[in-house]
Amino acid sequence: MLHRLYSPPPPLGHFVELLWLYEGFRPAHPRERLLPTGTIEMVIHLREDRILTYGRRDVLRPFTLSGSVVCGAHSEFFVIDTASQDGVMGVHFRPGGAYPFLRLPSGELHNHHVDLSALWGRQAASELRERLLAAPTPEGKLRVLEQALIERASGGFERHPAVAYALHEFAAAPGGRTIGEVTQRTGFSARRFIDLFEKEVGLTPKLFCRVQRFQRVLQEIQCGPNANSNGGSGVGLNGPSNGKPIDWVSLALNCGYYDQAHFIHDFRAFSGINPSTYLAAHTPHTNHVPLWDD
């Protein structure tokens, strides 16, 4: 399997965390559950001009999009067909980072997949895919995609100062400033701040912070820093990184949840499964959970 990751330098790097490319990835499972990250992704299929995906509420009914898709900021899981991952590349934007390149309020993409042609125009989307296919090497393809993004942001790399400040504060460890405190420090009313934040990030501040807290849980599960020898509450299963039971209560509290019930409620809301089911899936990728046909 060919796997390339590239972190572009500033100013693009302030908005784009990674450009990525996979080739030859053929997992045995037919589908994957993708968990919400609260960020926007651009995905381009290099093998054929179509991508098959499934909505959360009816995973048995797939829908097909073109081979160039923008995945809006999600606060719920969705399901993808793994055949679409054999020859695929894309852009992983930082929180709020896609706004200069899409030229529409990011909140309109919340929990949606949209053809790139609907945002950039058919000709621009088609030309980008053709240039990517013509590039002879993986590194060349990444350079083409990088240049396309730079050209697309010809109006300037800009982020509203209040949104930039809020994202910095929200990235702090649990126990930092509350949303109300951050809002007050921006100098805007609560309604105005919510509108600004949702316009650039795609989620309201409250929902974004909930998704990021959920993401911290997934990272803790993968790394296992809260695991201990006795399992704490007695509900632990073997953690993926160190083989010790996970203390779910400590994990929940360390990540900012009121209690274990609050933690499980949010975990189910965002993933559609409980923490033990996620752990039992032994997924090598934090936000991709294998799904097998019955």
Which structural domains are found in the chain, ordered by start?
2-152 (2.60.120), 161-203 (no CATH), 207-291 (1.10.10)
Closest by CA position to 174, among listed 210, 225, 203, 200:
210
- Can you tell me the distance from the alpha carbon of 275 to that of 209, in angstroms, rounded to the nearest whole number? 19
Site of tokens 């790394």: 223
CB atoms within 10 A of CB 187: 10
Taking CA atoms, 202 is separated from 35, 63, 106, 276, in Å, by 16, 23, 4, 30
Amino acid code (one letter) for 69: V
Tens digit of pLDDT per residue, the chain (294 long)?
789 999 999 999 999 999 999 988 778 888 899 999 999 999 999 998 988 888 765 555 778 889 999 999 999 999 988 876 779 999 999 999 999 999 899 999 999 999 999 999 999 999 999 999 999 999 999 999 999 999 998 678 889 999 999 999 999 877 778 999 999 999 999 999 999 999 999 999 999 999 999 999 999 888 764 433 333 322 333 344 455 688 999 999 999 999 999 999 999 999 999 999 999 888 878 999 998 876
Parallel, antiparallel, or unpaired: how do β-strands 88-93 and 41-45 relate? antiparallel
Q: What single string gives the DSSP state of each residue in 144-169? A: HHHHHHHHHTTT-----HHHHHHHHH
